[in-house]
Amino acid sequence: MSDNATFDYTSAAVKVLFGAGRLADVANAVEGLGGRRCLVLSTPGRENLARDVETRLGGLAAAVFPGARMHTPVGVTENAMTVVASEGIDCLVAIGGGSTIGLAKAIAWRTGLPQVAIPTTYAGSEMTAVLGETAEGKKTTRRSGEVRPEVVIYDVDLTLTLPPRTSAVSGMNAMAHAVEALYAENRNPVLTLLAEDAIRTLAGGLPGIIDDPSDRAARTEALYGAWLCGMCLEAGVALHHKLCHVLGGAFDLPHAETHAVVLPYAVAYNASAAPDAMARIARALGTGDAVSGLIDLERRIGTPRSLREIGMPEEGIDRAARSVAANPYWNPRPMDEDALRDLLRAAWAGS
């Protein structure tokens, strides 16, 4: 059992179809939700996937909107909403990473429409009731059962094209969800079980993908681990996600890369305050120490090592430390501005 013996646990009613070739089940999934006029969503670069889904849906597809963008800008959602209205859409199918799934969630929030999410990265958004949207450079996050997709299709074939570098950073983005589930305020024994296995499975799959991006066994392991990591987000988040949220918003840093860089530093910050979590992370990584285990894994899969190399200006360190300390999340170790400045300085330099 985890170190939290008094807890709430809510299980979500999500149907998951997992395995190679499962995209073939998309029309059945839509019919099961009562959909007759689907809107298929993707990012501009992945329109080919959306068109493939459109073909598989046949008469159930009413329109394709390949305009999803990172951080779910409200302007993009409004454009998609005009298609929803003009085409009489009754079901959403999102195929892509967190950006596409975010757009479907934003439409579902406004309309209550059912969703089929088909993730092609490891970000994990498809498993959560959380929607983050941006308007005029400001990010708003809300939590509602309405935004969680009813059906999720994890088809490993769709991940074979995810470049090794993107796979590595996206995988570490996912792993951060499981790591923080182990010490978040609302952790519970069920998600603790999932989190440890999520870290183990994902860490088992990622190196094989770097060696051979077409390795199906490694891809399957990583995708399964990413699903578990996505479920772990239900336990809530702490320092790591707060730091990434602030850094991404203030300096427009790339989402998954920021997670990859920050994770070992956030874990080191919390190490003394969350010994049970540290033991579980270390065990899952097959090492004696959580922080060095994460660093070794990141070296092995070649993720960026510093905030400097992903574009953060050095003079931003003070501002970020102030911003995190002024509006902290719950964290096992209090968020102290001076200590956060040290953390950020180290993460900026990659030391």
Q: Is 256 in the site for ligand NAD (CB under 6 A)?
A: yes
Q: Is 22 in the site for ligand NAD (CB under 6 A)?
A: no
Q: Which is nearer to ligand NAD, 84 or 123 (CB)?
A: 123
Considering only residues 45, 137, 286, 350, which one is a binding residue for ligand NAD as defined by CB under 6 A?
Answer: 45
CB neighbours (10 Å) of residue 318? 13
Q: Is 250 in the site for ligand NAD (CB under 6 A)?
A: no
| Pairs from 312-317 (Cβ < 8 Å, separation ≥ 24) | 312/247, 312/251, 312/253, 312/348, 313/251, 314/348, 316/250, 316/251, 317/341, 317/344, 317/345, 317/348
Choose the stretch contacting ligand NAD; rule: CB under 6 A; options: 41-49, 84-92, 289-297, 325-333: 41-49
Distances 316 to 71, 264, 268, 306, 351 between C-alpha atoms, Å: 21, 20, 21, 14, 17
* Spatial separation of the C-alpha atoms in residues 73 and 103, rounded to whole Å: 8
Nearest to 149 by CA among 132, 178, 125, 123: 125
Q: Is 94 in the site for ligand NAD (CB under 6 A)?
A: no
Q: Which is nearer to ligand NAD, 71 or 216 (CB)?
A: 71
Binding mask 210-249 for ligand NAD (x = CB under 6 A): -----------------------x----------------
* Radius of gyration over every alpha carbon of the chain, rounded to an integer in angstroms: 20
Q: Is 96 in the site for ligand NAD (CB under 6 A)?
A: yes
Q: Is 161 in the site for ligand NAD (CB under 6 A)?
A: yes
Q: Is 316 in the site for ligand NAD (CB under 6 A)?
A: no
Choose the stretch contacting ligand NAD; rule: CB under 6 A; options: 18-26, 127-135, 217-225, 284-292: 127-135
**For tokens 């992945």, what's the residue?**
46
CB neighbours (10 Å) of residue 345? 16
* Spatial separation of the C-alpha atoms in residues 187 and 234, rounded to whole Å: 9
* Spatial separation of the C-alpha atoms in residues 21 and 18, rounded to whole Å: 9
Q: Is 123 in the site for ligand NAD (CB under 6 A)?
A: yes
Q: Which is nearer to ligand NAD, 143 or 299 (CB)?
A: 143
Q: Is 263 in the site for ligand NAD (CB under 6 A)?
A: no
Binding mask 264-303 for ligand NAD (x = CB under 6 A): ----------------------------------------
Q: Is 158 in the site for ligand NAD (CB under 6 A)?
A: yes
List, in sequence order, every residue forming a beta bridge with 130; answer none if it has no partner. Answer: 143
User: How open is the CA angle 180-182-160, to the nearest 5 degrees?
Assistant: 60
Considering only residues 121, 201, 258, 323, which one is a binding residue for ligand NAD as defined by CB under 6 A?
Answer: 121
Residues forming the site for ligand NAD (CB under 6 A) = 43, 45-46, 70-71, 96-100, 102, 120-121, 123-125, 128, 130-132, 158-159, 161-162, 166, 170, 233, 255-256
